[in-house]
Amino acid sequence: MKAKILSLVLLMGLSVAVFAQKTENGPKKSMRGQDRSLMMQDDRRGPANGMNLTDAQIEAFKKSRLEMQKQLQPLRNELGEAKAHQKTLVTAEKTDLSAINKNIEKIGALRVEMAKIQAKHHLDVRAQLTDEQKLNFDLKKGRMGHDKGFKGMKHGRGMRGEHPMI
């Protein structure tokens, strides 16, 4: 009797383990093998895909993007520090509303500065495009991010994550 119960429990445990494994039978198949290697060879992935960019344009855009990232990195670091400081201020034993408000202003100013740098980069890129490329660029800019699902649930936080301002 004990052997039957033990074998039944073992069988159930194995069946649960088998069903818990990921499969490739659904619509979200992983990119394995040749399909992925072909995608990686294509330099025109992402926003540049389908825009018929010249090699000179691609190189200029890579350089411009690198410069923008160099400008943004210190601001991103400072923003992260300000967000961490905000969490400290809000969760302190004695909260100081003026310090919290001042830090919120600092976070806002950093985000504004980052948005200005990104807007300048966008306009610099757009200025190097032909009229047809500009149309495609503008259309893609309006759609970017919309094909990745519901934007309200960024970073998997859902409704329970931290507030985006802090």
pLDDT at position 36? 46
Is 52-144 a CATH 1.20.120.1490 domain? yes
pLDDT at position 22? 60
pLDDT at position 150? 47
Q: How many CB atoms lie within 10 A of CB 79?
A: 18
Q: List average pLDDT for each run of 10 residues in the chain, which is 166 residues long.
A: 76 70 54 46 54 90 95 97 96 95 97 96 93 88 55 50 51
pLDDT at position 2? 77
pTM: 0.59
Name the nearest CA neighbour of 134 among 51, 67, 72, 26.
51
Torsion region of 22: left, alpha or beta (phi above 0 gives left; psi -120 to 50 gives alpha): beta
